[in-house]
Amino acid sequence: MINKSLKELKEGLASGEFSSVELTRFFLERIKQFNDDLNAFISVTEEQALAMAKAADQQIAAGNAGKLTGIPMAHKDLFCTDGVLTTCGSRMLENFIAPYDATVVEKLNAAGMPMLGKTNMDEFAMGSSNENSYFGAVKNPWDLERVPGGSSGGSAAAVAARLTPVATGTDTGGSIRQPASFSGVTGIKPTYGRVSRYGMVAYASSLDQGGAFGASAEDCALLLEAMSGFDERDSTSVDVAVPDFSAHLNEPLQGLRIGLPKEYFEEGLDSGVAAVIETALQQYKKLGAEIIDISLPNTHLAIPAYYVVAPAEASSNLSRFDGVRYGYRCEDPKDLTDMYMRSRGEGFGAEVKRRIMTGTYALSAGYYDAYYLKAQKIRRLISDDFKQAFKQVDVIMGPVAPETAFKIGEKSDDPISMYLSDIYTIALNLAGLPGMSVPAGTSNNMPVGLQIIGNYFEEAKMLNLAHQYQQATDWHRQTPASFSGEQ
């Protein structure tokens, strides 16, 4: 059961091999069995999931089932869910119950997918390891002493350990692709504006984008299609048609041009990771693709630009959490100023406070032009690099991260080293481009992801490339030994 694709699960539901209630109960039992080891879920919505599964069974019986009806899933705990805790992995929202559903939640509810629960994450999506959660670190299913990546580490770990068939995530600087790489699953961040941000608690509004985790590109294609679409409630939502992503999966790759940025293979890339990526590229050659060397000359500026733009936007977005309207409030404040200061000081973790302070400084009088404005100019240069590259090639490939998953605590005292984990992913968010991570092998017995970068709104092409690779390899079918058995 745990290794069935969404397509196979749908066929099983349609044939009566199992019901949605049985399927949902199966995954709820796996969560009960394994979540204590992984800490992948912050909350489990068993009663709600079984009620949704029962409704899905009725739809299936009536012949009204859609592509995903009755298949359970999980949401990153950044999406507002009506009547259910939405914590963002923070003490600040430890007891916050959202009064409405995010658009993504609405869409997947409408698709008939029972929600198993809400997955753990770095606080307010700030982190690359999932160690910044108020609810404790998430463990990597391949090695419980290692991180699963972040900030969507709970979703990645839950899919990798097969506690859920698929899950949602968000990506501000690599927070879907990097945990997908570290955890050995497929993860896709679509073009900025493809998926509505309404009801998705903001970290950096011009960078955040919702996306999908699954075992395979085929599974991600189905989930992403259900999540996508224009939303008038989100001013950053783009009104473009949502294609049938699954319809393009089997197109041949003959003559397709793959760009290889020289900047992604310079000093800093682990030799084991580089070897895995090279082997994957050779497989693409066998499938008929052409490899072309390209340059993205401003790549080295992506991290400094990001760590000005993102904290500046976080400083603005998180100013609403002040202990007045909702969220954490300190005990016995002396006055209003004391309440503001202590509520924020006690409610936010160290990394969130670090980024708020950085962003506030960058936006302050006398420093806006020197930092924020300059970072936005660099952002345009990075975007222009990609535009030039896509005149020569159809897609771009390279590593997701410079190394495999590191040990829990290894980089906790070195934020700069932690930030460098996202060196190959951040530029896409600055440019608004789509990207995905595909399991491509292992180094030191830990998963390595291949990054596929597409042009704007060309998710179908990326998914096609990923699917063709997964037809020729079996890395996406491999599961961590401790979680591969069925109870």
Q: Provide φ and ψ at 12, rounded to 5°.
A: -65, -40
41-44: strand order across its sheet? 41-44, 115-119, 73-76, 166-171, 209-214, 186-189, 435-443, 446-453, 395-399, 257-261, 290-294
Cis peptide before 151 (omega within 30 of 0): yes
- 411 is annotated as an active-site residue: no
Residue 76 designated active-site: yes
Of 19, 20, 76, 411, the catalytic one is: 76
- Assess contact for 345 and 92: CB atoms under 8 A: no
175 counts as catalytic: yes
The one catalytic residue in 90, 133, 175, 437 is 175
CA distance 226 to 233: 18
Cα-based torsion angle of the residue sequence 65, 66, 71, 75 in order, rounded to the nearest 10 degrees: -130
Gap between the Cα atoms of 269 and 403, Å rounded: 7
Q: Which is catalytic among the residues 90, 151, 181, 315? A: 151
Pairing, β 257-261 against β 290-294? parallel
User: How many angstroms from the chain centroid is the CA of residue 396?
Assistant: 19
End-to-end distance of the chain based on CA atoms, in angstroms?
10
C-alpha to C-alpha distance for 419 and 407, rounded to whole angstroms: 15
Q: Is the dihedral of CA 337, 343, 348, 349 positive or negative?
A: positive
Give CA–CA dist 441/448, Å, rounded: 5
Two tokens at 303? 């991290």
Catalytic residue IDs? 76, 151, 175
